[in-house]
Homo-oligomer: A and B are copies of this chain.
Amino acid sequence: MADPLPQGAVIGILGGGQLGRMLALAAARLGLRCHIYDPTPGCPAAQVSDLATHAAFDDVDALRDFAKQVDVVTYEFENIPTASLDAIEAIAPIRPGRTALATSQDRLTEKAFLNGCGLKTAPFAQVDDLDGLNAAITRIGTPAILKTRRLGYDGKGQARLSDPADAENVLDAMHGAPAILEGFVPFSHEVSVIAARDPGGSVAAFDPGENVHQDGILRTTTVPARLTAAQRTDAVLIAANILNTLDYIGVIGVELFVTENGLIVNEFAPRVHNSGHWTQNGCVIDQFEQHIRAIAGWPLGDGKRHSNVEMTNLIGDGIAAIPKLAGENAGLHLYGKAEARPGRKMGHVNRIIGTVQ
């Protein structure tokens, strides 16, 4: 795939949730079509695409058929079975590539990779059993957090360890899954950088946003983040370091802790990221279009910000506020989910809080 994808080319998207939906809308702006692969008919992304396959993520035959009908495959979530990726990759390119996926799918691999890039992380240790956990506690201390190595998101698969005596209980909460103990890092706030890299190796980063979480779920991202000029540069260099080391194609989201000793990498996601939704109303080219441009071999936009934005997630019943929010002339982005369940991301609002000169 050396040439840019032409008008009408088809992008395959694994996962039909809100990220897939907004990727499909961005692809549409560029005259590209999307084929959504998701088990659920009527899922948010399939609503905005005329091409969809509804089958399980481990249905290798369906995945092969899907791969034959598209020009490139991307994904909105990381936990795709290896056999499924193998089946697709034999037919169509997957972007971002396997290395990025494999690295981010496992918290232990990810942290080791980041340290290998020369980047700072929280102290961590592999935990396979109680002996391992006790050894990790001795080295890292408490408080700390025990996390499953795989399949965690939005605060799930995590347990806080305040006292070494709680080790056994906290380990039980992992239900036998391989785990990692992470030390606490004293930080003042969390920021994230959304950046993109194209097949030719060009990198473009959006300005870092400042994130506020509640109950393990992102609530708001505000841009610009509280950072010194040096920290701002450092954040972008960190993202570029990761992108280049992984020979990455597409958009990445990198979460960083701001500490007295500089920026510490929390984790990265090899995809568009909730903390980058502000770009839809803060930039001419948003993170979704940037991702599509990268994987389609188009030139990246430069990611320049024209407005300051506060992004607020609408979670569960938060969607009841829509009529009021709609009157505020804020950028409203709703995901077409009929049922508002507690903790479910239903949409988000981008409030313009200033213009960039």
Binding site for B on A (CB under 8 A): 4, 7-8, 21, 24-25, 28-33, 42, 46-50, 52, 281, 284-285, 293, 298-299, 301-302, 304, 306-307, 319, 323, 326-327, 329-338, 346-347, 350, 352, 355-357
CB <8 Å contact, B323 and A298 = yes
B352 in contact with A306 (CB, 8 Å) = yes
Set B28, B281, B298: member contacting A284, Cβ < 8 A: B281
User: In the complex this chain forms, how many copies of it are found?
Assistant: 2
Partner of A337, one of B7, B32, B285, B306: B7
Residues of B near A298 (CB, < 8 A) are 323, 326
Is A306 a contact of B304 with CB atoms below 8 Å?
Answer: no
CB-CB nearest in chain B for A4: B323
Q: Which residues of B contact A33 (CB under 8 A)?
A: 47, 336
Residues of B within 8 A of A356 (CB): 355
**A345 vs B329: C-alpha distance in the bound complex, in angstroms?**
30
A69 to chain B, nearest CB (A): 14
Besides A4-B323, A355-B357, 12 new A-B residue pairs in contact (Cβ under 8 A), listed by A number: A8-B336, A25-B28, A28-B48, A29-B332, A29-B333, A30-B332, A31-B334, A33-B47, A49-B50, A285-B331, A301-B329, A357-B357
The docked-state distance in angstroms from the alpha carbon of A327 to that of B293 is 10
Decide if B299 touches A336 in the complex (CB within 8 Å).
Answer: no
Instruction: Tell which of A30, A293, A347, A357 has the most Cβ of chain B within 10 Å.
Output: A30
In the complex, which residue of chain B has the Cβ closest to the Cβ of A327?
B299
Please determine whether A352 and B284 come into contact, CB atoms closer than 8 angstroms. yes
Report the bound CA distance from A32 to B48 in whole Å.
Answer: 10
**How many Å lie between the Cα of A347 and that of B49 in the bound state?**
19
Q: Is the CB of A29 within 8 A of B326?
A: no
Can you identify 16 A-B contacts, CB atoms within 8 angstroms? A7-B334, A24-B48, A25-B25, A28-B47, A29-B333, A31-B335, A33-B47, A42-B50, A46-B50, A48-B48, A48-B49, A48-B50, A50-B52, A284-B329, A298-B323, A355-B355
Partner of A306, one of B47, B301, B336, B355: B355
Please name the 10 residue pairs, one residue from A and one from B, whose CB atoms are nearest each other, closest first. A31-B334, A299-B327, A8-B338, A31-B336, A28-B48, A301-B329, A299-B326, A302-B329, A284-B331, A298-B326
Residues of B within 8 A of A285 (CB): 329, 331
Between A28, A332, A335, the greatest number of chain B beta carbons within 10 A of the residue's beta carbon is seen for A28
What's the minimum C-beta distance from A279 to chain B, rounded to whole angstroms? 13
